[in-house]
């Protein structure tokens, strides 16, 4: 079973609020907006600006990687890109991977998109791919995200003290994980 673990299949996952589909170059304007939105860059600890050509190259090549799954978060009501959700760093021997999600900013925050996208991609990771563990890091100044992660079943495992220097202040990063057996 371990040898078959892969993110080669790039599915479309549908919920009530969002659809998750493989990212494409057509999503680059949304990615650039996401990465240039001040609140989003702070919450993800992103220090550098994004070059549009590199963004296009990045999204154009995501389908070529079977060790990661990059999905656009699309608001179903409008059909617009509101963020991305990623499973990355696939460890086939230990049936685990990393998780990250970023929404486009205040126009997408607090509307349930992140919770639903997280649940959809975790169901895929555990039920379809066969993973046992999905892990993430969340910065101390992002309690809204930590609340969502706890709500869907992630468990706090530890704190990386002073892991991020942001605007002259040291910020802790919390490591969280969800096991297949933790699912709610």
Domains: count for the chain: 1
**pLDDT digit string, tens, across residues 91-141:** 999 999 999 999 987 888 889 999 999 999 999 999 999 999 999 999 999
Q: Is the CB of residue 146 less than 8 Å from the CB of residue 171?
A: no
| Domain CATH for 158 | 3.40.630.30
Identify the sign of the CA torsion 89, 92, 96, 101: positive
**pLDDT digit string, tens, across residues 2-33:** 446 889 999 999 999 999 999 999 998 888 88
| Alpha helix ranges (H) inside the chain | 28-36, 38-44, 52-61, 113-123, 143-152
pTM attached to this predicted model: 0.90
Which residue from 126, 139, 130 is spatially nearest to 182, judged by alpha carbons?
126
Which residue from 169, 67, 86 is spatially nearest to 135, judged by alpha carbons?
86
Q: Residue 54's pLDDT is what?
A: 83
In a domain, 117, yes or no: yes
Which residue from 4, 123, 117 is spatially nearest to 71, judged by alpha carbons?
117
In a domain, 184, yes or no: no
In a domain, 52, yes or no: yes
Q: Is the CB of residue 145 less than 8 Å from the CB of residue 154?
A: no
What whole-number distance in Å separates Cα of residue 133 and Cα of residue 170? 29
Tell me which residue range forms the domain holding 141.
Answer: 2-179
**pLDDT digit string, tens, across residues 87-99:** 999 999 999 999 9
């Amino acid at each position: 079973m371990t040898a078959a673990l892969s993110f080669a299949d790039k599915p479309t996952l549908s919920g009530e609020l969002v659809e998750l589909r493989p990212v494409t170059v057509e999503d680059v304007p949304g990615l650039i907006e996401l990465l240039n939105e001040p609140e989003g860059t702070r919450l993800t600890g992103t220090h550098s600006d994004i070059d549009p050509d590199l963004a296009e190259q990045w999204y154009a090549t995501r389908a070529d990687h079977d060790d990661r799954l990059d999905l656009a978060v699309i608001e179903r009501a409008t059909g617009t890109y509101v963020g991305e959700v990623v499973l990355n760093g696939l460890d086939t021997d230990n049936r685990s991977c990393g998780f990250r999600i970023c929404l486009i900013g205040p126009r997408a925050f607090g509307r349930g998109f992140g919770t639903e996208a997280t649940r959809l991609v975790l169901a895929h990771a555990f039920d379809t791919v066969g993973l046992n563990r999905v892990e993430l890091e969340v910065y101390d100044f992002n309690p809204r995200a930590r609340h969502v992660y706890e709500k869907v079943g992630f468990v706090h495992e530890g704190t990386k003290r002073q892991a991020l220097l942001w605007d002259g202040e040291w910020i802790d990063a919390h490591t969280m994980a969800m096991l297949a057996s933790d699912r709610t």
